[in-house]
Amino acid sequence: MSGLGQAPEAERAPATGLSPAAVGQTPQVAPLLEVDDLTVLLRVEGAERAVLKDVALAVRPGEAVGLVGESGSGKSMTARAIDRLLPRGAKISGQIKFDGVDVYQMAGADLRSFRNRVAMIFQDPRAHINPVRRIGDFMTEALRTNLKVPSAQAAARAVDMLGQVGIGEPERRMRQYPHELSGGMLQRVMIATALLTEPRLLLADEPTTALDVTTQAEVMAILDELRRDLGLAMIFITHDLELAAAICDRTVVMYAGQVVEVRESVLLHDDPLHPYTAALAAARPDIGRTATRLAAIPGRPVSAFEAPAGECAFAPRCPHAADICRAGPPDLAELDGGLSRCARAADLRGTLRGADHD
């Protein structure tokens, strides 16, 4: 892959200029995953288009990080870049380190071991499971082929894991085919499968979006509980701020292929640092009350390549935009224990309220 890890370490280290604490590191614990300066270009209709711009984030062992954004924000693309699942022809620069090792420099045994330690679950389980193979076969494949676990032992572990994700009669389920299970059941099978190789990082890309709300609540609870029990780190991708906040320690908000805010999840709704986060929380209708008018954000979300150049990507839609916002693209800067990519972030402290509708 192009451009990765070729520059000397000394040149890339100060890339973001942020203190370790701000990007989620503590001096004592080295981050499990470190993404720095990640820029991705895709070829679309003959032209190269940026989908990610200078994305930086870090995940500590055992930490859950939410990745929130609307369409085009680059949240799924970030997960794909981490798991080396980008489409052919993608141009990548920047660095992704897992356990201190550059992911894009891995090959052979290292890469296989990386694949076992980083698991991914997707929005549509049916699209990622072979419909003509039995559940048991699908679940134990990685164990049997990559980790050389004997079949009987692999099956026993799969049965045990199905029990842990709350699936009754696991032995019978192992013999069934995907079409015999409902969507929520199948997503739990995917989670169980992802956990079988004892990964250290789980990439969950909108795993509950296609499910009913009651099923979603159940699957979220299982995900949260197992993650904590196993000490697993997770990146949870969603378009729903509240959903991310429910099970993630920190939330990363993305807009137009960039990280615009990093904040402790519990603070995000009531005390956001970036106007976009505030606007997103305010635009969502409230189940507890009817607003005379919703605080809609004008315009539509844009991708990195559609964003205006030379100014803040959110400025055209931002109610707080001023001359300084159009003077140049703002940097991701520390503020009150979080990060915000807003030139006016300090001025606006205390005035951004997510829950304010009327």
Please report, as ranges, the residues that interact with another protein according to CB under 8 A: 70-71, 166, 168, 179-182, 184-185, 212-218, 220-222, 224-225, 239-240, 242-243, 245-247, 269-270, 279-280, 283-291, 293-302, 306, 316-317, 355
Burial of 262 (0-12, 13-18, 19+ CB in 10 A): buried
**Based on CB atoms, which residue is closest to another protein, 39 or 208?**
208
SS3 31: coil
- Using the minimum distance from each CB to another protein, give the nearer residue, 38 or 185: 185
**Residue 98 or 305: which CB sits closer to another protein?**
305
The H or E element that residue 238 is part of is strand 233-238
Closest approach, Cβ 57 to another protein, in A, equals: 22
Nearer to another protein, 228 or 349 (CB): 228
Shortest separation between residue 349's beta carbon and another protein, angstroms: 20
Rg (CA), the chain: 21
Smallest distance, another protein to C-beta of residue 70, A: 4
| d(C-alpha 356, C-alpha 100), whole Å | 42
User: With respect to another protein, which residue has the nearer C-beta, 87 or 285?
Assistant: 285
- Inter-residue contact 174 to 159 (CB < 8 Å): yes
Q: State the helix-helix crossing angle for 135-145 and 151-164, rounded to 10 degrees.
A: 120
60: amino acid identity, one letter = R
Q: Which residue, 31 or 301, has its beta carbon nearer to another protein?
A: 301
Q: How far is the CB of 264 from another protein (least distance, A)?
A: 13
Smallest distance, another protein to C-beta of residue 216, A: 7
Phi/psi of residue 215, nearest 5 degrees:
-70, -40
Question: How far is C-alpha 117 from the geometric centre of its chain's CA atoms?
Answer: 16
Smallest separation, CB 164 to another protein (Å): 11
In the complex, the smallest distance separating the C-beta of residue 214 from another protein, rounded to whole angstroms, is 5
| Tally of CB atoms within 10 A around 87 | 11
Question: At 95, is the secondary structure helix, strand, or coil?
Answer: strand
- CA atoms within a 13 Å half-sphere pointing along the CA-CB vector of 135: 30
Tokens of 86: 């980008």
| Nearest in space to 57 (alpha carbons), one of 339, 248, 345, 312 | 339
Residue pair 203/119 in contact (Cβ under 8 Å)? The answer is yes
Min dist. Cβ of residue 152 to another protein (A): 26
Smallest distance, Å, CB 101 to another protein? 34
Nearer to another protein, 65 or 186 (CB): 186
With respect to another protein, which residue has the nearer C-beta, 34 or 63?
A: 63
Angstrom distance (rounded) from CA 115 to CA 65? 20
- C-alpha angle with apex 223: 218 to 229, nearest 5 degrees? 125
Nearer to another protein, 12 or 239 (CB): 239
Instruction: Classify 121 as helix, strand or coil.
Output: strand
Backbone angles phi, psi at 205, to 5 degrees: -100, 100
